[in-house]
Amino acid sequence: MVGITWGNNLMTINYFTFNPNTLSNYSFQPILDGQTYTVLVNWNVYGQRYYINISDLYGTLIVCLPLIGSPDTQDISMTAGYFTSKLVYRNSSGNFEVTS
């Protein structure tokens, strides 16, 4: 976790290291907009790519979308339109970054 001051606001960035494995799912529990959610990353054989599923702690699916990698120079938030917290996958480091 890293704290960054942006203007008058303190932003927190949490890092989750993604270790890809096409045989098993990867999951972590970030805090998005003040609530804990479960992010499940799984390999889709038909699509030949990873997908993320964000669910609440009761198992209710909030969103399912393809894993989108961000370059170092730009943040592509996979939670835009669903949360104000940002969930970014950084290609260069292999980390998920959650900014709130």
- Mean pLDDT, each 10-residue run in order, the chain (100 residues): 54 90 92 96 94 97 97 96 96 94
CA distance 26 to 9: 32
- Determine the number of helices (DSSP H) and then strands (DSSP E) in the chain: 0, 11
> What's the domain range around 48?
2-99
pLDDT of residue 9: 64
How many domains would you assign to the chain?
1
Sign of CA dihedral 2, 17, 27, 76: positive
